[in-house]
Amino acid sequence: MIEETYSTVNGTYGAAGTCEVTSIWAGTRIPVGEIPEEIGSLVALQNLNLGNNGLKGTIPINLFNCSSLQSLSLDDIGLTGTMPSEIGELRNLGYLNLQFNSLTGTIPSTLFNMTTLRVIHLWSNQFSGQLPSEFGHGLPNLEEIYLWSNQLTGQLPSSISNCSKLTVIDLGINSFSGPIPDILAT
């Protein structure tokens, strides 16, 4: 049970008293614990914001059953582990915020094939490795990406030039090397 005056749950009521939850915004005082596995059963969920709470643990795999999800904010809640490759199953996702956690490993290539993504906040985690070469091929609507303060290495993929709507890219405090793609130099 959420006991917070700033928490909201929105949805629609259907036949026989059923309810389809479409939005969850939890305020700043959720009891300490992990993200409930039951969230994965909310197939009509479009907006989930559990940021800045006492939650912890890993990103539950069944979260990716929420195929209607358009906005996902799990920022600053102490997430650990890796970002599951199943994130690519969220075909309607336009906004992703996982900043200020302790996520590790490489950023899954499936993230870079989500055509609806407009904004990606992954800064201040512990992601490592190189960005996949297909970085810009599957992100035609990407406007902003924040990768600041991770442990990313290697060259920036030239495919980033395919992100024609990109207006903000924050790559600071990483260990990138090599030439800067032309699109970023203009």
Residue 18 scores a pLDDT above 80: no
More confident residue, 180 or 4: 180
| Domain of 33, in residue numbers | 8-185
pLDDT level of residue 163 (50, 70, 90 thresholds): very high
H/E stretch holding 121 reads: strand 119-121
Q: Domain for residue 65, yes or no?
A: yes
More confident residue, 26 or 23: 23
Q: Domain for residue 177, yes or no?
A: yes
% of the chain exceeding 90 in pLDDT: 73
Name the CA radius of gyration of the chain, rounded: 17
Q: Domain for residue 86, yes or no?
A: yes
Rounded distance between C-alpha atoms, residue 97 and residue 26, angstroms: 15
Q: 45, 68 in Cβ contact below 8 A?
A: yes
The widest CA-to-CA distance across the chain, in whole angstroms, is 61
Count how many domains the chain has: 1
Q: What is the pLDDT of residues 56-83, one digit of tens each?
A: 899 999 999 999 999 999 999 999 999 9
Q: 157, 182 in Cβ contact below 8 A?
A: no
Q: What is the mean pLDDT of residues 162-183?
A: 92
Q: Domain for residue 35, yes or no?
A: yes
Q: Domain for residue 2, yes or no?
A: no
Residue 4's pLDDT is 39
Q: 151, 171 in Cβ contact below 8 A?
A: no
Average pLDDT, the chain: 89
Rounded distance between C-alpha atoms, residue 160 and residue 157, angstroms: 6
Q: What is the mean pLDDT of residues 114-140?
A: 95
3-class secondary structure, 150: coil
CATH assignment of the domain containing 68: 3.80.10.10
Rounded distance between C-alpha atoms, residue 142 and residue 126, angstroms: 22
User: How, if at all, do strands 55-56 and 33-34 pair?
Assistant: parallel
Q: Domain for residue 1, yes or no?
A: no
Q: 99, 122 in Cβ contact below 8 A?
A: yes
Residue 9's pLDDT is 67
3-class secondary structure, 100: coil
Place of tokens 């915004």: 25
